[in-house]
Chains A and B, each alone.
Chain A
Amino acid sequence: MLDLFQKLGHKTLGRFAALGRSTQMLFGALVNMPNFKKGTPLLIRQLYMVGSQSLLIIMVSGLFIGMVLALQGYTVLVGYGAEDSLGPLVALSLLRELGPVVTALLFAGRAGSALTAEIGLMKATEQLSSLEMMAIDPLKRIIAPRFWAGFISMPLLALIFSAVAIIGAHLVGVDWLGVDSGSFWSIMQAQVSFQQDIVNGMIKSFVFAMIVTWIALYKGYDCVPTSEGISKATTETVVHSSLAVLGFDFILTAVMFTS
């Protein structure tokens, strides 16, 4: 019995210690603004790595999710003669939920795991130690540009995802299933509010961006520097950030969309 408590206590303390270390890492990376002359090329490189490189998967997934939503929504709505409401159905579910959440999940799988593996490998090959011995702070040089790149990229990716998905829904709903194009857009416009739906969706996206990038960077930075440790850290990045995104999504939705 006491063993059980001891185990629980050990686990809890371990979790808190990890939280402390990760906060320390993030704080260390962000506390002084990086020098712009040296920082900008690094940031651009990372924006390319995490942003531009994720573009394809985000756009393809967005297109298909939009098309599926339209198809499924249509078959249900047509039963009530309400197929004109397809536009708002698709737009609202994308802007409020699917856009930010699916983008965050895909981002965790595509860019988050890559970040963890890259930093883990840098640690295993002593590149991080070597930077430190060259009197260059790896938090500023390695962690900070990657964090900002993730933080900037993900909301942009979520916007692209939603836009492409709505185009996909239009493709299926209007061009294939014959919903009236005018009512598709106008009812959508009447129902979707910029403030309530788009801005809130973007806030969600920024929160998810921070969570996913933070977890990915921390897992890489704190991993056991062996091949086994890196593979474990990469898996943990995807699992933990996905769960964290879904959990925070519920909290944010509860705060934003219930009055």
Chain B
Amino acid sequence: MGTIVEFKNVTKIFSSAYGTTKALDDVNLQINEGDIYGVIGMSGAGKSTLIRCINLLEKPTSGEVITDGDDLMTLSERQLREKRKHIGMIFQHFNLLMQKNVVDNVAFPLTAAGVPRKEARAKATELLEVVGLKEKVKSYPASLSGGQMQRVAIARALAQDPKILLCDEATSALDPETTASILNLLQKINREYNITIIIITHAMSVVRKVCSHVAILSDGKIVETGLVNEVFDNPKTEEGRLLISKAEESERREKEQKGV
């Protein structure tokens, strides 16, 4: 199993009229093929920026991002688009096309890439079966539940046979039961298609449930990495301990509020 994503001294600085923010500060990270890798951090820690650097939706200010063998910073716009086709991505708010039905949403990355509609739809239907939404093929997203919409988004992300699947707070808008079923689906995809999955989240429970490895991000810096159990049960740094206790605290409060 080789390395599939590698960050070398990645720094990302956002500048605005109000000053500059260092969203990522000299990040080094190595993710191996076949992993389910979690990146956890509080809001504002730079998680979203980090995951967007993997497919260069955000361009680092400095450093190298090596994804599936290529240093993305050296690719041309066209090469980068080609590369992105093999990196699926799902989002907190699903980001489906609201004017297209379910099957055309899943077929969209293919038809946009020039695959004939009939062929694209056949593949989309197959994928909808994988995510358990065969009966919703003709429905429109507006009529689906959050969990169903995320399943459509997952099927869509799989349409171009990716090697990597990026999950940006993909379960944060879902209730605990739906979250569990989506995480199960991600696990199944990881096993059956050998797709490396990278999950960005603020929820420890998500990392505990599916991830093999975890990195803790705090103020744009990776403060700890390792196997999930090792890091969570025995954090080595002060920041790690602080973050884990904070995350546990907020999860407890969330549970109490929901009356669980």
Is this pair of chains taken from one and the same complex?
A: no
